[in-house]
DNA sequence: GGTTGCGCTGGAGTGCACTCCACCGTGCAG
DNA sequence: CTGCACGGTGGAGTGCACTCCAGCGCAACC
């Protein structure tokens, strides 16, 4: 049942040597370019199918190639771009800004300095966020210590429950 | 506990007959306890008035004291608790979990070890998040460097735009 | 031929965390 | 007395980022 889906003029199956996982990774190259089904793209990138479609709808992905049956075939380039998207998303960049970045990227080489500016600004934002988290984390740790101190006090003494955050 | 020379904002120990010095920090102590108007509480904590009311509605704050006219007067304790809330919120704790923490806190001393557990779990979550941010930040920095390298290539050579994320 | 699996579409719905609104009350300044 | 700032309420609305759904197509397998 494996073989190759006889659609779309398949040339060969790309499987890592040593792994004969025919069930998963029926990844297929067309003219030397690897293509991913939506399911594979989802698994590869960690985005849900719906999210991938959503991203395409809003233009965060450029229109994905289709096979004869109208089904999406994600390219390596798409997967790579999705990796970038995940990275930006997971560091808290809002979709609107990712969209801006996507548009710059599509606009061509002359936007590279803009892209650098955008990413450097975001990098700084991440830096700030980390610093903030560290600071707040300190407060949490102090609170934990406060509780531990309370627990350490001999039972029945000193019923004070005071400072919430130090 | 008396005779406090007020630099800005007069604080009276006994309930003042009327309003005085309304401009800044008209914070008032009644029986030694400082009270904050909603506006002051908002300014002090950085939450909006609506958010403060919202937090009270959902039970993240216990019912705030009211004056004769039915207006809220936040206590120092409330402000302290709000500091804790801000800390947890800003480190990404969802409201549902803050609510759980609030309930534990209200339930009394016997929940302290639960509270410690909750906070330590959250502390770990923050730690993980920071590590993740650092990792992703690395990718962003590499991408920036990639772009800078592209810019450094003599004009017109090597039009490759490949790897999205390294 | 029927069922299963995967994918398609447009549009509606969800969950979270607020945020806004209309309308009302209170109290002091002018 | 009037106006204004501030605050009250219940309930509706917002923005974001998905997520779900009905109804359909296509290919494979039993």
Q: A105: Cβ under 7 Å from strand C?
A: no
For B70, residues 6+ apart whose C-beta sits below 8 A from its C-beta are: none
How far apart CA B78 and CA B161 sit, in angstroms, is 55
CA distances B35 to B1, B44, B60, B66, Å, are 16, 12, 19, 10
Question: Smallest Cα–Cα separation from A39: which of A30, A26, A29?
Answer: A26
- Please, which residues have CB within 8 angstroms of residue A120's CB and are 6 or more apart in sequence? B144
Chain B CB contacts of A150 under 8 Å are 109, 112
- Cβ of residue B95 lies below 7 Å from strand C: yes
pTM of the model: 0.82
Tokens representing B4?
């406090």
CA→C1' distance for A2 and D29 (Å): 12
Mean pLDDT of all residues in A41-66:
97
Arithmetic mean of pLDDT over chain A: 83
Residue A33 has pLDDT above 90, yes or no: no
Across the interface, whether the CB atoms of A87 and B140 are under 8 A apart is answered yes
Cα–Cα distance, B37 to B90 (Å, whole number): 24
Q: Among positive and negative, which fits the CA dihedral B55, B56, B57, B60?
A: positive
The strand pair at B74-75 and B33-36 is best described as: antiparallel
The mean per-residue pLDDT over the stretch A107-127 comes to 97
CA–chain centroid gap for A61, Å, is 13
- Residue A142 and residue B87 in contact, taking contact as beta carbons nearer than 8 Å: no
Helices B49-58 and B38-45, packing angle to 10 deg: 100
The percent of residues above 90 in pLDDT, for chain A, comes to 70
Q: What is the pLDDT of residues A128-152, one digit of tens each?
A: 999 999 999 999 999 999 999 999 8
Q: How far is A2 from chain B (nearest CA, A)?
A: 31
Under 8 Å between Cβ of B11 and B34 = yes
Query: Residue A8 region, left (φ>0) first, then alpha (ψ -120 to 50), else beta?
Result: left
State whether the Cα torsion A152-A158-A163-B3 is positive or negative: negative
Nucleotide C19 C1' to residue B64 CA (A): 21
pLDDT tier, B34 (very low <50, low <70, confident <90, very high otherwise): confident
Question: Sign of the C-alpha dihedral, residues B153, B158, B160, B163?
Answer: negative
Residue A34: predicted pLDDT: 84
Taking contacts as CB-CB distances below 8 angstroms, the residues of chain A near B148 are 116
Establish how many alpha carbons lie within 13 A of residue A93's alpha carbon, considering only the half-sphere containing its beta carbon: 26
Name B residues 7-46 whose Cβ lies under 7 Å from strand C. 18-19
CA atoms within 13 A on the CB side of A103: 8
Distance (Å) from the alpha carbon of B100 to chain A's nearest alpha carbon: 16
Q: Cβ distance A163 to A146 under 8 Å?
A: yes
% pLDDT > 70, chain A: 72
- Which residue, among A156, A165, A155, A140, has the nearest Cα to B117 in the 3D structure? A140
Residue in the structure block whose two tokens are 């949490």: A140
Which residues 125-154 of A are in CB contact (within 8 Å) with B? 126-127, 129-130, 132-134, 136-137, 139-141, 143-144, 147-148, 150-151
Compare all CA atoms of chain B with the CA of A153 and give the residue at the minimum distance. B109
Helices marked H in chain A — which ranges? 38-45, 49-58, 76-90, 95-107, 112-152
Determine whether the distance from the CB of B48 to the nearest atom of strand C is below 7 Å: yes
């Amino acid at each position: 049942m494996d073989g190759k889906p006889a659609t779309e003029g398949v040339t060969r199956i790309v499987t890592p040597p040593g792994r004969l996982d025919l069930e998963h990774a029926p990844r297929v190259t067309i003219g030397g370019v690897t293509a991913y089904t939506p399911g594979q793209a989802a698994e590869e990138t960690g985005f849900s199918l719906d999210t991938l479609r959503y991203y395409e709808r809003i233009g965060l992905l450029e229109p994905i190639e289709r096979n004869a049956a109208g089904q999406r075939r994600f390219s390596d380039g798409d997967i790579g771009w999705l990796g970038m998207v995940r990275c930006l998303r997971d560091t808290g960049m809002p979709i609107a800004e990712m969209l801006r970045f996507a548009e710059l990227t599509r606009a061509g080489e002359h936007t590279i300095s803009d892209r650098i500016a955008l990413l450097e600004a975001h990098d700084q934002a991440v830096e700030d966020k980390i610093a903030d988290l560290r600071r707040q984390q300190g407060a949490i740790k102090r609170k934990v210590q406060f509780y531990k101190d309370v627990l350490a006090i001999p039972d029945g003494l000193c019923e004070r429950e005071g400072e919430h955050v130090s």
